[in-house]
Amino acid sequence: MIHVENLNKSFKVSKRAQGIRAAIGSFIKPNFETIEAVRNLSFHIDPGEIVGYIGPNGAGKSTTIKMMSGILVPDSGQCLIDGKNPWKQRVDHVKNIGVVFGQRSQLWWDVPVVDSFELLKNIYKIEDKTYKNQMELLGDSLAIGDILTTPVRQLSLGQRMRCEIAASLLHDPKVLFLDEPTIGLDAVSKLGVRKFIKTLNREKNTTVILTTHDMSDIDALANRMLLIGKGQLLLDGSLQDIKKQYFKEKTVIVDHFENKKVLKIPGVTCKEQEINRSVFSVPVNQVKVSDVIQSLARDLEIIDIEVTNPDVENLVVDLYKEYNI
C-alpha cells in the first residue's frame, strides 16, 4: 500500500543576529542555513494497518506526511501509495487519501459545515448516492448531524475536529493521514474520535497513519509504531513488542484486610505499605508476576489486586533518551 524509499527533504532557513544593524545586513546579504528535515527515510505499510508515527517537535513527522500526501516534493527518493507517486500523480492520488491536520482547517470559516461538504463533493466529483451514504454514516458515527447547518466559526474545537475528519472521508479514501487529530479535545471527544477510527479501519480496511504527541492515542489505536528523530527513522516495530522490550517492571497494587506484618518478596521492591494497601515493583525479567501474587495470597487476605505497566509516555521518554533526540 505505502512504500517509502530513501526520501530526503531539506529547507533553507534565514539566520541573522540580534539588532538593527544585523537586520539591515541580512536584508542586503541574507545568510541561510540548510536544515535537513528528512534524511534517507524508508519504510513500508501494508493495507489496513494503523501506524503510529511519533517523534519530538522538528523530527520530520509533518514533513513526511506532506510529502506522502503530495503537498511537498522531496529533494530525492521514492514514494508510492497504492501504486501512485503523490507529487507526480497528485490528482489521481488525492482521490484515494484523506488528510487531517489538527492545526489547519479545510472547512470554510464563515459558512455552515454542510456548505463546505457540498463544495468538497464537487471538488472530488463524488456521486450523489455515494455522498448521501457517506453523510449518513459520518453523521451518525461522528455525531455531527445536529451541527451541519452551524457556521464553522461557532463550533467548539471538538465539534470542528469531528467535522474535519468527516470532510476528509467524504470521498471514501483508502488511506487516512491524521496529524494531531485530537489536539485540544476533551476526553469525551477523544474517545469518540478513537472509536470511529477503529470502526473505520475494521469495517473498511482503511489504512491509517497517525502522528501525535498524545501517546494515549497511539496506545489506543496503533498496532505498529515508527519513531523518527532528526529526520531519520530510528525504530520500527510492533507496539506490543516494543513494550515488552522496554517495560522492565510491572506494578502490583494490592488492597487487603488489615495487615501490620512487613511484607518481603525476594527480588521485588515494596514501594508502599499501608494497613490496607501495598504496592510492589516487579522486575519482570527476573521475577514472575504470578509468583508474586501467589506469595501475597499466602500472607494476606486479598480484597482486590491490580497489575499495571508503566505509562506509554514513560516509554517514549526512555526511547528519546536512548536515541538522544
pLDDT for 277 beyond 80: yes
CA distance 301 to 257: 6
pLDDT, position 22: 65
Q: How does residue 206 score in pLDDT terms, banded at 50, 70 and 90? A: very high
List, as one string, the DSSP characters of 203-260: HH--EEEEE-S-HHHHHHH-SEEEEEETTEEEEEEEHHHHHHHH--EEEEEEEES---
Letter for the amino acid at 23?
A
Residue 52: C-alpha distances to residues 79, 167, 247 (Å): 18, 22, 18
pLDDT, position 226: 94
| All three cell numbers of 49 | 494497518
The per-residue pLDDT for range 232-246, each reduced to its tens digit, is 999 998 888 888 888
pLDDT for 314 beyond 70: yes
Average pLDDT over residues 249-269: 91
Strand 249-256 versus strand 277-283 pairing type? antiparallel
Average pLDDT over residues 296-313: 88
Give percent of the chain above pLDDT 90: 51
Taking each helix axis as running N to C, give the angle between helix 113-124 and helix 157-169, from 0 to 180 degrees, rounded to the nearest 10: 20
Task: Please report, for the chain, the start and end positions of each structural domain, with discontinuous segments joined by +.
Answer: 2-6+40-243, 248-308
Letter for the amino acid at 106?
Q
| H or E element that contains 200 | helix 187-204
The per-residue pLDDT for range 130-164, each reduced to its tens digit, is 899 889 888 888 889 899 999 999 998 888 888 99
Q: How does residue 247 score in pLDDT terms, banded at 50, 70 and 90? A: confident
Cβ atoms < 10 Å from Cβ of 195: 14
pLDDT, position 268: 93
pLDDT for 19 beyond 80: no
The per-residue pLDDT for range 50-79, each reduced to its tens digit, is 999 998 888 889 899 999 999 999 999 999
pLDDT, position 74: 95
pLDDT, position 67: 94
Mean pLDDT of the chain: 88
pLDDT for 256 beyond 90: yes
Average pLDDT over residues 12-29: 71
pLDDT for 14 beyond 80: no
Q: Greater confidence, 21 or 113?
A: 113
CA distance 151 to 147: 8
pLDDT, position 321: 81
At the top level of CATH, which class does the domain 2-6+40-243 belong to? alpha beta
Backbone dihedral angles phi then psi of residue 285, each to the nearest 5 degrees: -85, -5
pLDDT, position 8: 94
**Residue 246: is it exposed, middle or buried by C-beta count within 10 angstroms (0-12/13-18/19+)?**
middle
Average pLDDT over residues 175-184: 85
Q: How does residue 23 score in pLDDT terms, banded at 50, 70 and 90? A: low
Q: How does residue 182 score in pLDDT terms, banded at 50, 70 and 90? A: confident
Predicted model pTM? 0.82
Task: Kindly give, in sequence order, each residue whose CB lies less than 8 Å from that of residue 117, ignoring residues fewer than 6 positions away.
Answer: 135, 148, 166, 167, 170
Longest dimension (CA), the chain: 81
